């Protein structure tokens, strides 16, 4: 197993992508700590993991809350002994499909601020523990939207901020045994629904073919494949 005897904290663990990642990490041997704002969603994922023979813990918290995140990270270390993987997958409030000249300031900045703050807060909490361990992997989800993508609205600036943060943090703590990895993705089709896409861009509400499937094996495997199976030694880098 790629993650045998490892402890993974997943923020936004009750969401479509967070839940898929959590299930796959568990199948690969990790003990999963799910964090998010909605207990019902977190417990649904935890129940799936436990029914499959895995181990999952649930914590209700806001990844934008520095004190809550730091206290939770310390609690994980106290309980499990380490944090080996930290992955922030909370929703940022992206707005797309509107020309920038027609977008409001709040719509542009929401994803930038939420994305950068949550990645900073969660990564810092994990990194402080990981540098003491001399090992660990911090994962963040972004894309190439920062490199000139029209009609991507707030996603491009938000991904640019996250990508810069990931690169700089990696340069600082990489020499201390901690890897920081930004996973570029254009989306996971298995997690799409008309409602979720319409929340980003209303033009998708009536124009999408359907039906869409629930997250399947491809969605589950994508982050692990990108960050784990591509490593020559067969596991997540830094573990």
Pairwise CA distance, residues 30 & 23, whole Å: 9
Q: What is the pLDDT of residues 148-189, one digit of tens each?
A: 889 999 999 999 999 999 999 999 999 999 999 999 887 666
Please write down the long-range contacts of 170-176, taking CB distance under 8 Å and 24 or more positions apart. 173/127, 173/130, 173/131, 176/131, 176/134
Positive/negative CA dihedral, 99, 101, 106, 109? positive
Looking at domain 7-227, its CATH architecture is 3-Layer(aba) Sandwich (3.40)
Domain ranges of the chain: 7-227
pLDDT per position as a tens digit, 86-137: 999 999 999 999 999 999 999 999 999 999 999 999 999 999 999 999 999 9
Residues 45/76, Cβ–Cβ less than 8 Å: no
Round to whole Å and give the CA distance between 113 and 19: 23
Q: Which residues pair with 31 in a beta bridge?
A: 7, 55
Note if the pTM is more than 0.95: no
């Amino acid at each position: 197993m790629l993650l045998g005897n490892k402890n993974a904290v997943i923020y936004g663990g009750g969401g479509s992508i967070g839940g898929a990642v959590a299930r796959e990490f568990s199948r690969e041997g990790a003990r999963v700590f799910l964090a998010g704002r909605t207990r019902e969603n977190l417990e649904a994922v935890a129940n799936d993991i436990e029914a499959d023979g895995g181990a999952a813990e649930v914590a209700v918290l806001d990844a934008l809350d520095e004190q809550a995140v730091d206290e939770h990270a310390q609690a994980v270390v106290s309980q499990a002994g380490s944090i080996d993987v930290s992955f922030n997958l909370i929703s940022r409030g992206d707005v797309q499909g509107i020309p920038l000249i027609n977008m409001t300031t709040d719509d542009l900045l929401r994803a930038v601020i939420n994305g950068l703050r949550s990645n900073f807060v969660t990564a810092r909490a994990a990194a402080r523990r990981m540098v003491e361990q001399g090992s660990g992997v911090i994962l963040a989800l972004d894309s190439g939207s920062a490199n000139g993508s029209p009609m991507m609205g707030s996603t491009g600036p938000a991904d640019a901020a996250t990508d810069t943060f990931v690169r700089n943090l990696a340069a600082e703590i990489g020499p201390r045994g901690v890897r920081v990895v930004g996973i570029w993705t254009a989306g996971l089709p298995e997690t799409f629904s008309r409602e979720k896409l319409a929340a980003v861009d209303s033009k998708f509400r009536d124009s999408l073919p359907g039906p869409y499937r629930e997250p399947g094996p491809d969605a589950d495997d994508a982050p692990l494949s990108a960050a784990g199976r591509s490593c020559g030694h067969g596991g997540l880098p830094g573990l």
